[in-house]
Amino acid sequence: MTVPNLVTAPFRALSAALGQDPLQVQGPGGNTSIKDGSVMYIKASGTELADAERKDIFVAVDRDAACLEALEKAGDGSCKDTVLDKSHGLRPSIETTFHAALDHRVVAHTHSVATLVHAISPEGRDVARQKLQGLPFVMVPYAKPGLPLTRQILAQMQHDTRVAILENHGLICMGDTVDQVRDLIASVEDRLAMPAKPVPPVAPANPAPAGFNWSEHSWLATDSAVTDLVLDGTYYPDHVVFLGPALPVQDHAGKPPVVLIKGQGVLIRTDATSSQASMLQCIADIFARLPGDWSVQAIGAKAEAELLDWDAEKYRQALAARA
> From the CB of residue 5, how many other CB atoms can be counted at a distance below 10 Å?
10
Residue 76 maps to which CATH number? 3.40.225.10
User: Which residues are within 8 A (CB) of 89 and not within 5 positions of it... i.e. 6 or more apart?
Assistant: none
Question: Is 133 inside any structural domain?
Answer: yes
Query: Exposed, middle or buried by CB within 10 Å (0-12, 13-18, 19+), for 211?
Result: exposed
Helix (H) or strand (E) holding 171: strand 170-175
Give the pLDDT confidence score for residue 218 in this predicted structure: 97
Question: Is 2 inside any structural domain?
Answer: no
- Secondary structure of 104-144 in the HEC alphabet? CCEEEEECCHHHHHHHCCHHHHHHHHHHCCCCCEEEECCCC
**Nearest 5 degrees, angle CA 76-CA 164-CA 112?**
95
Which residue, 192, 227, 260, sits at the end of a domain? 192
Mean pLDDT (the chain, rounded): 94
- The separation between the first and the last C-alpha atoms of the chain, rounded to the nearest angstrom, is 32
Question: Is 67 inside any structural domain?
Answer: yes
Amino acid at 272: A
| Res. 61: pLDDT tops 60 | yes
3-37 pLDDT, tens digit each: 889 999 999 999 999 999 999 999 999 999 999 99
* Nearest-angstrom CA–CA distance, 229 and 247: 10
Q: Residues 146, 262: one domain?
A: no
Handedness of CA 75, 77, 82, 86 (dihedral sign): negative
* Nearest-angstrom CA–CA distance, 304 and 98: 21
Question: Is 237 inside any structural domain?
Answer: yes
Which segment of 67-76, 197-206, 255-264, 282-291 scores lowest on mean pLDDT?
A: 197-206
By residue range, what is the domain housing residue 83?
Answer: 9-192
**How many domains, in total, are found in the chain?**
2
